[in-house]
Chains A and B, each alone.
Chain A
């Protein structure tokens, strides 16, 4: 079981300690308070740790990027191997807790969606983000078999972005009504837009608003 006191496993050589673990930070390494006028901001640096090295060794170019930004590690993985990577992270690297699954929409990109898994390991007291990019209409294997908690989280991603998860036991809308048209968190969905037809039919409001 995870250690309750603040004694996480010592960070791997080269790994940045997350900023949050250093309250009252006096002198950060790269996160030194930048010039007050217009901070250029910290830039992602390469994530150097046995885990990143292992993944890179195993999948080579399948790992597009493994970086640390503001002390938070993430890996960008090709969508074809993401299920494998996630399984390895859970089975071999003890990332036993899937904190969140979410997506970001970049309409101007060819592969429109960033899909993000936020993982946490109780034994290691460490967080990692796995990201992948997929195109609109492309399906991605479900991770409900890896973490049961993915069930609702994937349903929400499907509801909000329309990303299909293959093999999901019950992929249907979760927050919006079943017959709703459109996926509201896409960037092309306006903030006051809604499914007027649905509202007219189901709520009996003439204007649909």
Chain B
């Protein structure tokens, strides 16, 4: 099926992602922030779909929105809301933060202007049906070592978390 109204959906999703991002840092209520983050993640999943990467989109939903954000909420729910509301939202580091954001933005603009050769001329169109297989080939072929290293890293993190959480083992 040919995509319909590509431009419209791109701007819609991008706008939603940005809106979510802004809400994440401006909401005082941590749960609302988390919900805004979920909005961003879902919008990103939509963008992945538009880039003909359905597998990545699916994984984005199942892992980030469905898994990790639930654990986020899990923790946030146990935090006292009243206390968080009283606390100052933007502390004195906001100048540094602003500078960093401006620097990053400048970098992006610079790269976009100067390094347009980096980007492909036309949109790459991998066949939709074999997209998932291609990811698998890359992941378990060319990048197998990196993949396994990442797994090991996660395993270390899991063990560390268990050690820290459990008083007695």
Chains A and B touch each other in the complex, with CB atoms below 8 Å apart: no
